[in-house]
Structure 1
Amino acid sequence: MNKLPIFPFLILLVCLSSKAQVITDSLLIEGHYRVFHYNIPSKSLRQPSLIFVMHGSGGDGLGMMKSTGKMEQQAGTDNALIVYPSGYKRYWNECRKASPAQANLENINEQAFFEGMIQYFKKRYQINSEHVFAVGTSGGGHMAYKLALTMPGAFRAVTAIIANLPDTTNLDCVPSGKAVPIMIINGTEDRTNPYNGGPVILGQNMTMGEVRSTDRTLAYWAELARYQGKPTMEKLPDTDPNDGKTIERYVYQEKGKPEIVLLKVIGGKHDYPNDIDVHQEALSFFMRQIHRN
């Protein structure tokens, strides 16, 4: 990938509380100012890990920050810096060919944006470029898949929440063919991102084309990592019996191979389960990759 000129544009400090401040900044990428947000990091961080958290279609980075309170609290202990980029006009140019979003129609260069942010945080906060991660929800989950498909050398691991890979007829990325550690969190009763595959329809009949089933999505990453047979399975504690959801964890894990995980939320819709904090779960997954061979 060709490296493009990147220019910091604006820094805005917003007081959220007596203990937290948010920096909003942007990079000029191919004529577009691309915005991102992050909390001022603690001075105790030393060569921290970098974690991107991506919002869903129609959202933005600031809004996404409201869902990650527990993750932010744990991040300091785990020596991690969390960043919330915003999509182009509230959408990502992910890998769905049928997406009518302007980001897709204009073929916005997301790889240059994320590479630019990595360099930004490497320069300002000396992040460990070997410990870069990404987690996204819905459309942000599709963006996480794109990063894993097209920039596996830049990302140590990714997590995709309520998102399946685009079907082969709806895929307009060129996959690298390299395996990466990945965790998928999907609900079996999700009508927006159908667990068993099919068309993804957003509000007002906005169609994003078809996606693969969760089983096919899991199998894609497992096969890239050269796993054979079935994953191990365990049932997670049902900490909220009233939400109508239970979770099964499926894991492919062998020494020398990327860890591949599915959290199957039985009864889950296009939302987060109450039994776990999905972003804390992602953070734990990422930190585990640092200590694996």
Structure 2
Amino acid sequence: MAPLRQRCSYFLDDGPRYEIQEESLINIQKKFAIPPSVVMRCPSEFERAPDGRSDEIAIYEAYLEAGFRVGVPSIVAEVSSFFCFCPSQLTPPTWRTLTAIQVLGEFHGFVVGVHEILYSCYFAPLVSKPGFYRLRSRDGTPLVEEPSRGIKGNYPFGDDWDTRYLFLKIPGSSPYPSFWRTVDVARPMSFIGDVVTKLVLGVPQWFRWVNFLMSKEALRHSRVWVRGMAFHRDQSVLQGRATARWELMKEWLDKKVDHWNPEEEYRRYLFWAEGVDQLMTGGPVQAATSGSAAGSRYSGDPSF
């Protein structure tokens, strides 16, 4: 693997690449409710994203749109450490997808890591922007999904997302490199992650929608936004009570979907949740599998 930066930029074109200036930093911090403990700075005029200091990484504004608030999500850090590249080299849609997978795992008590991701997905270089990597589904069945219709509030990032970035100070030591590098991301399917992956794919489709998992309703109960004891208290309730998770989903659906049947969907959701409980305790697993009535109901696009 070869570093993309050794105190000089990997990009050789002329002119500045940044668009965020000092006067915009305060507005960004207010807009995204970035806590004071998160130390950020604007780049200098000709300071490119790979040119940060050894204790910094670039955070694109699109990452903020994708849910970044209090630090690099643990699953993004784990993937970056595994492949030995900088988290800044992941495209915003990939950052968003990985974060959604982390939230999904936290909600349902699944431990989702690199092996689960590599069982169902793979990473590939982004041809149009050298130095970046994106996540692709192996068989067309992603762990989390972007609904194609019926949902309000999709968030396209645009083609110029790489021109707007800040530098984030990394607190303490990090498990991933802070410098950019080219790496071989080709990896075979990891069968170590097949059991958890199949459980995740059995989660009703609405609960696997990226739009829900990256919503304020969901993120405010996730480690992505919440740290410390408050997070653990939240998770003990969410993982222990299917009704608590459902209330979050209902709150979100009421805002995003025009026509749906809460009573019917709640019944289907409880059917699935009971199946997972049986699986975890060694009981029958039919209700938790993708071939069950609940799984087949959520296998396609939403019906509204």
TM-score (norm 2): 0.28
Higher RCO (C-alpha 8 Å, min separation 6)? 2
Between structure 1 and structure 2, the one with the greater Rg is: 2
TM-score (norm 1): 0.29
